[in-house]
Amino acid sequence: MSAKMATRRNSTSRRGSTDMARITASVYTSHVPAVGAALDQGKTHEPYWQPLFAGYEYSKQWLKDNKPDVIFLVYNDHATAFSLDMIPTFALGTAANYAIADEGWGPRPVPPVVGHPELAAHIAQSVIQDDFDLTIVNRMEVDHGLTVPLSLMCGQPQAWPCPVIPFAVNVVQYPVPSGRRCFQLGQAIRRAVESYDGDLNVQIWGTGGMSHQLQGPRAGLINRDWDNAFLDKLIADPEALAAIPHIDYVREAGSEGIELVMWLIARGAMADVKGGPAPLVKHRFYHVPASNTAIGHLIMENPE
Ligand code: DHB
Ligand code: FE
């Protein structure tokens, strides 16, 4: 049996019997490293952390009930796999496995990340031919930007529930991609997934944010009003949100608030952007503080 046949036969998709991959849902979440440390060190029930983890209880059950075959996980590397030596704007992981990075305290005690080389290679082919220049990454360690969202959504399992395709976006070193470019790229990723010959239920996750500034005189900046307006617009008018220039993110959401452009990649992959039905907002959560930042989270489903 070919690998593709095996993938089809093993597919756990509960949606759609057509022999086509589809994006069924998108998940959006912050990836604060201290959240990973709190989980790894058994502190989730401490008063500081309990309200934050409570906001993800629904999400963990939702993911169990809506287990995808593959997660396409948009995140940013924090000078871990990449550095100022090499700065890819968009880097697509095509490997079979990704080791957990040591960010200074040893690798997080989480399962290794299993990739999906076949779908990743197809997405590379489709998206690059669709005029988005990607960097192909065949070996890469993944940092908190990728592992903390998995931990928040899955807790502490022996293995992650499915293969993950890492998609790293440069939001660390200027120039970083525009919100508009990210939103258009999400649409290209949707076209790529839908042209894959295999019955796969794919979720796309956009991670990073929300308002935070980790350095300089404004360190600790949090802007609840702006964050919540961002969540409102991400749901109802992502096209207008995608037009917001970088300077607005920096001024209103702090220097690291620019991580939020990655959410527009996931949002661009939803069905309504190209005339489909509006997404169902299954969950919305916002909490301050999480370390130096505001934490935000949304789950949207494409109606069947
Ligand atoms: C912190 C680091 C991040 O990468 C982030 O997105 C949020 C917070 C931190 O060091 O607190
Ligand atoms: Fe970050």
Nearest CA to ligand 1 atom 1: 32
Ligand 1 nearest atom to the CA of residue 31, by list position: 6
Residue 116 annotated as catalytic: no
Locate 152 and state its tokens: 């928040």
Question: Residues 31, 78, 212, 287: which is the catalytic one?
Answer: 212
pLDDT for the residue numbered 14: 46
Nearest CA to ligand 1 atom 2: 32
The answer to whether 163 and 71 are in contact (CB under 8 A) is yes
Walk across the sheet containing 97-100 and list its strands: 113-114, 97-100, 141-142
The answer to whether 166 and 112 are in contact (CB under 8 A) is no
Ligand 1 nearest atom to the CA of residue 145, by list position: 4
Question: Residues 31, 116, 122, 144: which is the catalytic one?
Answer: 144
Report angle CA 248, 134, 298 to the nearest 5 degrees: 50
Residue 144 annotated as catalytic: yes
Nearest CA to ligand 1 atom 6: 32
Nearest CA to ligand 1 atom 10: 33
pLDDT in tens, the chain (304 residues): 344 444 443 444 444 456 899 999 999 999 999 999 999 999 999 999 999 999 999 999 999 999 999 999 999 999 999 999 999 999 999 999 999 999 999 999 999 999 999 999 999 999 999 999 999 999 999 999 999 999 999 999 999 999 999 999 999 999 999 999 999 999 999 999 999 999 999 999 999 999 999 999 999 999 999 999 999 999 999 999 999 999 999 999 999 999 999 999 999 999 999 999 999 999 999 999 999 999 999 999 999 8
Please give all residues whose beta carbon lies within 6 A of any atom in ligand 1, as ranges: 31-34, 78, 208, 212, 214, 256, 259, 291-293
Ligand 1 mutation target, pool 28, 31, 32, 49, most atoms within 8 A of CB: 32
Q: How far apart are CA 209 and CA 207, in angstroms?
A: 7
**Residues with Cβ within 8 Å of residue 143, at least 6 apart in sequence:** 77, 78, 80, 81, 101, 103
Q: DSSP assignment of 14-53, as one string? A: -S--SSS-EEEEEEEE---HHHHHHHHTT-TTSTTTHHHH
